[in-house]
Amino acid sequence: QKEVEQNSGPLSVPEGAIASLNCTYSDRGSQSFFWYRQYSGKSPELIMFIYSNGDKEDGRFTAQLNKASQYVSLLIRDSQPSDSATYLCAVRDDSWGKFQFGAGTQVVVTP
Amino acid sequence: NAGVTQTPKFQVLKTGQSMTLQCAQDMNHNSMYWYRQDPGMGLRLIYYSASEGTTDKGEVPNGYNVSRLNKREFSLRLESAAPSQTSVYFCASLGPTYGYTFGSGTRLTVV
């Protein structure tokens, strides 16, 4: 059974600080990794994807991938109250587009 | 450009009743998916359709059936609802390069 693991949180972050979210996955052959943000009562929305080892930056978000350690992370810089949400880590499972999702990490940004 | 449209948004069923969840996408995507989301368990794949005319089981298909009516539409049917099917259901479609686009979700309660 392929697994994607995340700390459930909540992760409490002061406004303006960096939020660091972690995700590990079990399938060493995985190639594509995604971060989704989900506000309460809403559907997930894609915020980042990463395919190669290293860092990928998009605005205040940075995704980090280490395939050797089977680890992917998301950094949110200058955290804002609007960043308060659950963040889902997802790993693309195969060529048919199936994804394995983690259970999500709840982030709470406190003013 | 609506993206992925799901109906209904909310539904309450009695045990043993049947219903169909509708999903349509206007992005000309080949692949469509049905997930359920339960607290603490993340998103789990019920069924998927990699292309028009094909459907396959995902991780939790028992109690469900699907129909890929055409390229745009992918419906999920509960033939005899059970309380264990109380969940939030998301339809998603997958484009050629990036992650899923999700519908707004259906909150289903089976009493």
Chain A contact present for B34, CB below 8 A: no
Task: Find, among B74, B65, B55, the residue nearest to B19 by Cα.
Answer: B65
Residues of chain B in contact with residue A103, where contact means CB-CB under 8 angstroms, are 40-42
Helix/strand/coil for B73: strand
Q: What is the pLDDT of residues A40-75, one digit of tens each?
A: 999 999 999 999 999 999 999 999 999 999 999 999
Q: What is the pLDDT of residues B36-84, one digit of tens each?
A: 999 888 899 999 999 998 999 999 999 999 999 899 999 999 999 999 9
Residues of chain A in contact with residue B3, where contact means CB-CB under 8 angstroms, are none
pLDDT band at B1 (very low <50, low <70, confident <90, very high): low
Residues of chain A in contact with residue B100, where contact means CB-CB under 8 angstroms, are 44, 46, 99
Mean pLDDT in residue range B19-31? 95
Among B45, B99, B104, beta carbon nearest to A49: B99
pLDDT band at B19 (very low <50, low <70, confident <90, very high): very high
What pLDDT, on a 0 to 100 scale, did the predictor assign at position A81?
A: 96
Among A44, A46, A103, beta carbon nearest to B98: A46
Task: Find, among B66, B64, B42, B63, the residue nearest to B55 by Cα.
Answer: B66
Structure tokens, A60: 């205040």
**How many whole angstroms separate alpha carbon A58 and alpha carbon B88?**
30
**How many whole angstroms separate alpha carbon A96 and alpha carbon A84?**
32
Structure tokens, A94: 């195969």
Contact B43 A101 (CB under 8 A): yes
What pLDDT, on a 0 to 100 scale, did the predictor assign at position B95?
A: 83
What pLDDT, on a 0 to 100 scale, did the predictor assign at position A23?
A: 97
Residue A38 has pLDDT above 70, yes or no: yes
Mean pLDDT in residue range A76-89? 97
